[in-house]
Structure formats: structure tokens, C-alpha cells
Amino acid sequence: MPRLGPAFFDRPTLAVARDLLGALLVRRIGRGLVAGRIVEVEAYVGEDDLACHASRGKPGKKGRAAGLYVGPGHYYVYMIYGMYWCLNVVTEREGFPAAVLVRALEPVGGVHLMRRRRRAARRERDLANGPGRLCQALSIDGRFHGKSVESRSLWLERGDPIPEKEVIRCPRIGVDYAGNSKDLPWRFYVRTSECVSVRDPEAERLPDQSARSMA
């Protein structure tokens, strides 16, 4: 499958997020390959999004959030709760802070390598069904922060498209602190996947999820 280049990410963040569903995230570790199909993502868009790191601290391109301004197709990797890494891909034009957080993968290849790094996971579906877990499973850490998606050891490939009917759109996880941004429906996941980290029963009951405005 062809790799996704920077141009793929140089688009509105919600469209990128939606289209990343079904794509493959591939990691090369030495001679081994570890790969997963993306089944859950979240969009973080601009300084006005109170859940986006760019809304914190001093406005502008300083500190941690600087990594969100670097232009489309770069990884933004940060540590959370002092223990776990989270992988984002920066979107939109240079100078505008936005990214897509990759929240869950369905294991596709190198499952034995994932198990080695995810001893706590008993079932295969638990190997990468969370933003911290997938970084453990694929051995992704701060070394990838700021790197390009054209990296030789971590990249994305186009996968089979996910039909609109299978896409669930709902509010993001863990952003209750984000005031008026907390209910924005900027999380997308694949309804039929067993590897979604947190399901949203209410959203799954509603018809025609992602046909709503992307604005």
C-alpha cells in the first residue's frame, strides 16, 4: 500500500482524522515490522480548542506546543501522567497548531513483538487499544517527536477505506477540563472494531454520524 506523505496531512484536521481510520501505522524495529490498523482517532485544532496543547501556556510557538506549529506530516509525541507516550500527527499549514491523536490500533502484523512489549495485555485486542498502549506496543517514544511521517522507522500507509456507515463521531475522551471545547464531536472510531478504547453507546444509537458538518 502507498505511504501517506505530508500532503495527506495538509488538509482540514477533521477530514484528516476521518480519513486516517483504516490506515496502517507501521513501525520497523531492527529487521522486524510491527503494524496496526487505525480504528480510533481524535482531532485537536487550534489555540481556541481548549483541549489542544496550543491553548495552554503562553500563546505562540514556545514550549511543548511548539511541535504543533511545524507544518503537516510531523509527529507530535508527548508524555502523559509521567508514564505513557501519546502519538499525534501534525496537520494543516505551518504556523497553525493542529494534530490528530492516534488512539487505537487493530494488530495487523508483528503481533509477537507487540506482546513482548505489552506483557499486561492478555487478549490480542488489548495490545494497542489506547493511546498509551499503542505507543508501548510499537515502541514509540519521545525520539519520534518532530520527526517526519517519511521516517524510515515509523510511517503510515493507505488502507481499505472505512465506509461512512461504520464511522462513529462523538466527543473526545478525557477532556472534561476543557470547558466549552469538551463536547466538540472530534473523536472518530470504527463501529465494527473490537479494538476501540472507549465506546460511545449514545453516539452509536444515532444515525448518520459523520455526515454532519465537518466545520
Q: Tell me which residues touch DNA (CB under 7 A).
A: 42, 44, 51-53, 56-57, 63-65, 79-84, 86, 88, 99, 101, 103, 118, 120-121, 126, 130-134, 136, 172-175, 177-178, 197
CB of 207 to DNA, least distance (A): 27
Q: Which is nearer to DNA, 19 or 42 (CB)?
A: 42
Q: How far is the CB of 42 from DNA (least distance, A)?
A: 6
| 84 vs 96 by CB, closer to DNA | 84
Instruction: For the CB of residue 61, give the shortest distance to DNA in the complex, in Å.
Output: 11
Nearest CA-CA partner of 106 in 145, 88, 133, 82: 133
Tell the smallest beta-carbon distance from residue 88 to DNA (Å). 6
Contact 23, 36 (CB under 8 A): no
Q: CB of residue 114 vs DNA: minimum separation in angstroms?
A: 11
For DNA, the closer CB: 31 or 81: 81
Minimum CB distance to DNA smaller for 142 or for 163: 142
Nearer to DNA, 3 or 141 (CB): 141
- Contacts of 158 by beta carbon, 8 Å cutoff, 6+ apart: 1, 2, 3, 4, 23, 24
**Which of 3-34 are b and which e, b meaning 16 or more Cβ less than 10 Å from the residue's Cβ?**
ebebebbbeebbebbbbbbbbbbbbbeeeeeb
